[in-house]
Amino acid sequence: MKKGFIFIAGLLVFAFSCEKVIDIPLNEAEQRIVVEAVLFDVEDSSFIKLSKTGSVYDNSDFEKISGATVTVSDDQGNTFTFIEDPLTPGLYLDTTFIAQPYRTYDLSIIAAGETITATSTTYEDIQFDSLDYFYQAGSFGNPDSSYFVFFNFTDNGADKNFYRAIPVINGAKSGTYYLTDDKLFNGNNYRQPFFAEEMGHGDTLIAYIVSMDEANYTYLNTLSSNGGGGPFSPTPSNPVSNLEGNAIGFFGVFMTGYEQIIFP
């Protein structure tokens, strides 16, 4: 909704506008621990990354945190130990981990003298019903011809569900967050386009559907609007984290499904 609106606004106003890089001195924030703990119901795909924040104007090769103790346990008494990958500092893996539906997982990290904990819950496994598409000829404001892809899935009526769809085009993950809760379609089919993506002849699209708990939905939602600065974005703020302890980031255990299209 906002996209179309901004687009039209942009058309009128930004026709006159100009951009330039300026010099703005910024304060130096105290370094924080960053946790990205992402677990899936697919073997060999879960990971936990530990790093630190850096200066705004520095290069984005952030300091990694090695030597941490990282464990995940579920409400059935299973414990998984994530071991640092010898080739990639700060990346902790347990290749045997597979998330199960309707479980609660606890994360525990001891790193750089801090103890960080978090909890995440899974819901029913989710799959796309289908992906469908049509070819849209170039148009006003959107001059490139492109495939316009819709994804379809069916919500579980019993739970309060939160979803994210992730398009990966020719191996590149989209920067747009397609997030939705089932408030408006509980127990029904849902259909939505990947409105911000451009796909042409011969491109490969792999689309993932991810089901998550409310805390992760809130995190991703606030993360996606974090950019700030635009006239239609809210006052920028840090995403709402589900971590306990002196760290920023999130812990999410996700059920996923995927579909692939190779465009003619």
Interface of this chain with another protein, residues 101 to 140, rule: CB under 8 A? 139-140
For residue 36, give the H/E element and its range.
Answer: strand 33-40
Give the C-alpha distances (Å, rounded to integers) separating 150 from 2, 130, 133, 195: 18, 8, 6, 9
- CA separation for the pair 245, 29 (Å, rounded): 18
Per-residue binder mask for another protein (CB under 8 A), 223-242, x = binder = x-xxxxxxxxxxxxxxxx--
- CA separation for the pair 167, 261 (Å, rounded): 11
Residue 186 CB, nearest distance to another protein (Å)?
9
Cβ nearer to another protein, comparing 76 with 238: 238
If one counts every other C-beta atom within 10 angstroms of the C-beta of residue 177, the result is 14
Place of tokens 């011809």: 145
Residue 135 CB, nearest distance to another protein (Å)?
15
Contact 94, 83 (CB under 8 A): yes
Cβ nearer to another protein, comparing 79 with 246: 246
Cβ nearer to another protein, comparing 77 with 134: 134
Nearest 5°: phi and psi at 2?
A: -65, -35
| Piece in contact with another protein (CB under 8 A), picked from 15-23, 106-114, 115-123, 206-214 | 15-23
Per-residue binder mask for another protein (CB under 8 A), 169-198, x = binder = ----x-x--------xx--xxx--------
Among 46, 161, 218, 242, binds another protein (CB under 8 A): 218
| Piece in contact with another protein (CB under 8 A), picked from 31-39, 102-110, 123-131, 204-212 | 31-39
